[in-house]
Amino acid sequence: MSKRLSFPDLILRETDDYIFINKPPLISTLEDRSSPVNMLSIAREYDDGAQVCHRLDKETSGVLVIARNPEAYRHMSLQLQERKVEKVYHAVVSGLQEYKDKVVEAPIRKNSSGGVNIDFREGKEAVTRFDTMKVFRSTTLVECRPLTGRMHQIRIHLAWLKSPILSDHSYGGEDFYLSSVKRRFNIKKGEEEQPLIKRIALHAESIGFETEKGEKLKVQAPYPKDFRVLVSQLSKNR
């Protein structure tokens, strides 16, 4: 078992076929040349038949589904392909946004720099629905429901709406500093203020689907500390 992470501590729910975990931020889902630690390798130390059913970006935290056998993996893959899996993400974005059943249908194409662009000629279909949850002083907590599963879909669609996710530098997001909203903000002499969150402010809050046996599963992942502190501070300093 990896010394850096205790896999059992990440488990949200476990069945004979699936393991649902709360992936920490800054850990890759699959092998990554820049990091020796990834969720798949850690999962296989716990269950050697483990196979990740979908991906979360390295900086994104939240619920991740791991199949324990080939049949469960195939079933989940089919559910994803047929768009029968309900995914919900929470994002903190720039600006005061009032979204109510706001649907973005903007095709996505991968680019040569490892990111994506909106491309209505050559892009692949991508659809996301957005709803405002809370409006703060200069930012907004948004519920995001991707109906397709393209790379960086939520991130590029929010940027397309001119409401980039905080700290998402690849798509126009800026760092957020508590001093920008807190009236009495003190910092020790000689120290430099750090961003309130040091990674993309995106969390996979829940996932739901029907198993091969007809059982409906829905699993929610609580916020990790950095996202929880961000939302708490924004709420206190509205």
Q: How many angstroms separate the CA atoms of 93 and 201, rounded?
A: 8
Residue with tokens 């729910």: 13
List the catalytic residue out of 16, 47, 48, 57: 57
Q: How many angstroms separate the CA atoms of 178 and 199, rounded?
A: 15
Q: Which two tokens stand for residue 39?
A: 């969720």
Secondary structure string (H, E, C) spanning the chain: CCCCCCHHHHEEEECCCEEEEEECCCCECCCECCECCEHHHHHHHHCCCCEECCCCCCCCEEEEEEECCHHHHHHHHHHHHCCCCEEEEEEEEECCCCCCCEEEECCEEECCCCCEEECCCCCECCEEEEEEEEECCCEEEEEEEECCCCCCHHHHHHHHCCCCECCCHHHCCCCCCHHHCCCCCCCCCCCCCCCCCCCCCEEEEEEEEECCCCCEEEEECCCCHHHHHHHHHHHHCC
Q: How many angstroms separate the CA atoms of 93 and 165, rounded?
A: 4
57 catalytic per annotation: yes
- Residues with catalytic annotation? 57
